[in-house]
């Protein structure tokens, strides 16, 4: 039995590799060839020797190796020639034939004419805003129906757009007043306090400046940790009072004698600024705990708390605590979150405030 083995360069894009597989299927059908396999020189599987092994295992006695290249280059002259030589030694009872690449051929010229003259389908180059619009169309279609309110749905979509993760359509949670008060805070020109520089960098300053608000991040670029004995982070609260999930993620009372840099930054900003309307925590669970403590004990009163810290230690617990607060919040269940998510939520609020 004869086999044809099409060799492509290989790409990190699966669409490009799939194109060669589609050509192989056409060759098999058009030529009534019982076995047509594909292989790639790099970036994709199977490689040449894996494909040869498949052909041999399938009963091929002759393997016709066709390089799916436009011309003879280094890959043909050196790499492929060497690989075919090794295959001949490894499978001495199998006949190997290495063909010319596509090269210059009348049928290729006909394809060019067909694409250029007879069946013109111009490729549309999308502008940045068109790419975003197309992305949101796909997100809307794949999300399907959800239980979010109409005013909440754009925020969920923007988080999915920023992360590529549709799990957020299941795990995002909103206080009933969250979106409305967040928009109101933006339009009042209130500032947005964030825990880390990544959240600060991700927020659309151009939209925020329209309302004269600022993004504030006070985290220090130092590993210094402040000792404190009389100001422990907030113990978790349920609607019924103390108890439930603990900061340590287990049983017992929360204890600490240090503050993280993120906590220090939150506390410092709150002391210095009385115009904070939104707090957006995307990285540090301790910063979210500190925010909730300041609200509970120190009279801090932001309009909205966006709490989506990410990670395996304290992230889940801190968001569970926020979920039971009576003041407006936006959060996500579980370990997922991050600076990208926090910035996406704020940017969605800015877009809505702008009327988009």
The DSSP bridge pattern shows strands 241-242 and 329-332 to be unpaired
| Eight-state DSSP code of residue 196 | S
> Among all residues, which ones are annotated catalytic?
161
Q: Where are the alpha helices (DSSP H) in the chain?
A: 14-31, 48-57, 74, 81-90, 106-113, 128-143, 153-163, 168-171, 178-187, 197-202, 205-209, 261-272, 285-297, 315-323, 339-354
> Please, what's the largest Cα pairwise distance for the chain?
85
Nearest to 40 by CA among 81, 95, 80: 80
Q: How far is CA 59 from CA 83, 88, 91, in A?
A: 20, 16, 13
DSSP, collapsed to helix, strand or coil, labels residue 85 as: helix
Nearest to 325 by CA among 197, 239, 206: 239
């Amino acid at each position: 039995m004869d086999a044809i083995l099409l060799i492509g360069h290989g790409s990190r894009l699966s669409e490009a590799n799939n194109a060669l597989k589609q050509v192989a299927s056409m060759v098999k059908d058009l030529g009534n060839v019982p076995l047509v396999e594909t292989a790639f020189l790099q970036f994709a599987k199977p490689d040449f020797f894996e494909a040869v092994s498949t052909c041999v295992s399938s009963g091929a006695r002759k393997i016709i190796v066709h390089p799916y290249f436009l011309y003879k280059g280094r890959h043909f002259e050196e790499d492929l020639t060497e690989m075919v030589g090794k295959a001949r030694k490894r499978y001495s009872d199998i006949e190997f034939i290495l063909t010319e690449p596509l090269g210059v051929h009348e049928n290729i010229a006909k394809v060019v004419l067909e694409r250029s003259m007879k069946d013109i389908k111009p490729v549309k180059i999308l502008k940045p805003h068109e790419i975003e619009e197309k992305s949101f169309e796909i997100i809307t279609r794949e999300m399907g129906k959800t239980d979010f309110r109409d005013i909440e749905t754009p925020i969920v979509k923007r988080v999915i757009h920023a992360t590529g993760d549709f799990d957020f359509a299941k795990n995002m949670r909103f206080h009933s007043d969250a979106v409305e008060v967040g928009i109101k805070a933006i339009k009042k020109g209130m500032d947005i306090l964030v825990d880390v520089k990544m959240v600060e960098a991700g927020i659309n300053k151009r939209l925020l400046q329209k309302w004269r608000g600022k993004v504030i991040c006070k985290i220090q670029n130092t590993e210094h940790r402040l000792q404190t004995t009389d100001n422990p982070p907030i113990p978790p609260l349920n609607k019924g009072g103390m108890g439930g999930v603990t900061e340590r993620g287990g049983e017992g009372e929360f204890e600490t004698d240090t503050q993280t840099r993120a906590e220090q930054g939150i506390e410092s900003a709150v002391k210095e600024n009385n115009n904070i309307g939104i707090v957006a925590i995307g990285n540090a669970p301790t910063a979210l705990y500190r925010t909730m403590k300041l609200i509970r004990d120190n009279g801090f009163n932001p309009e909205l708390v966006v709490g989506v810290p990410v990670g395996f230690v304290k992230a889940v617990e801190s968001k569970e605590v926020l979920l039971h607060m009576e003041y407006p919040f936006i959060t996500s269940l579980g370990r997922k979150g991050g600076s990208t998510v926090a910035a996406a939520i704020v940017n969605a609020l800015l877009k809505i405030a702008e009327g988009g």
